[in-house]
Chains A and B, each alone.
Chain A
Amino acid sequence: MTVNTALYVRRKFRSTLFLGLAVGAAVFGIIWLGFILGALFYNGFTALDPKLFTQMTPPPGDDGGLANAIAGSLIMSSVAVLVGTPIGLLAGTYLAEYGRYGRFAFYIRFINDILLSAPSIITGLFIYELVVVNVPDSYFERACSGLLGSNCFMGHFSAVAGSLSLMVIVIPVVVRTSENMLLLVPNGLREAAAALGAPRSNVIRAVTWRAARAGIVTGILLAIARISGETAPLLFTALGNPFWSTDLSQPMASLPTVIFQFAMSPYEYWHRLAWAGALLITAAVLTLSIVARLLQPKRS
């Protein structure tokens, strides 16, 4: 019996070569990502300063901090999460409990997954058309100014518009994770509760929600992480504001838009502030994702 040594050598060589390339790909990827984080931490830490948290964004050539942008980001993200989470959780509950195999649930799931990865700049345009654009004497605007008077948020850039555009991003994230987490709850639990005579709504609220609590919190944290770096939708909804403002009906600053504006400027000091802001956002996002990961239940 003859052994075709050349063939074996060739196959062995091919295997080693391509696996070597795979290792190379991994090293290459990790080097770039390390390069990015390294640059971010280096430039961010050298720009860190207590003033960041106490002073407002400065005009060119002046000293200042990022206090108004940090506050703006916190306010708008909180409003978006507070309003978006219940809607997302309830819709996720519908998909996991009531709709499950229904046709309507199938379409909602499909649409939700599209919204989940749709470009965020589209969200901004949507809210711009819905809230910001000034249609004189429209029904909504009359109702808005009738109810809120000078606090009406429609017809111009406002923090409400910013929060709404972030909310549109929060909802699909929460829907997806809550549905997934509710589906992980064993049916035996639901059946046991139903056998005790509990109405279905009580089963869901007292049993399945409670069993899936950790997972649902994970989803909310991921949603916060997702919106804390969103820039595009805020550019033409909340706009920005160089002063301290907590008025939701007025334009409001946010970290990402300030980073965008400052980084694109020619001023050295603004660049430093942009790096500091970028570091703050990354630190927040990484912390949130790590906490979310620790809370996440194991996949069965």
Chain B
Amino acid sequence: MNIALIAGMTFLGALGGFWFKKVSRVTKPVQKLFRFLLGCVFYGLAAILNIIVLHHMPYTIVFPLTAITYVWTFLLSFFILGEKLNGYKLAGLGCILIGTFVLVH
């Protein structure tokens, strides 16, 4: 149950960021606003889930687990935004995941 909550929370967080990124890819203000608000919905849902999770699990465990968000970020970047991934980016993500794991163990 906690794993599903964490997976859902992190995916929503990444989707929020994804739509914030998509704001920069259009120039019309209406389009920008629409994408920003869409991002806010996902980001807000992630935040609410975060608060709920924080009431069930310790801050020091929940906060680092949110790093899984960036695994989703890489998947969205690569498969949808068409961004290139390279060794430095993967090393960066790896360090962030390891660093957050070390933080709590």
Q: Do A and B come from one complex?
A: no
Taking beta carbons and an 8 Å cutoff, which residues of B are in contact with A? none
Chain A interface (Cβ < 8 Å from any Cβ of B) = none
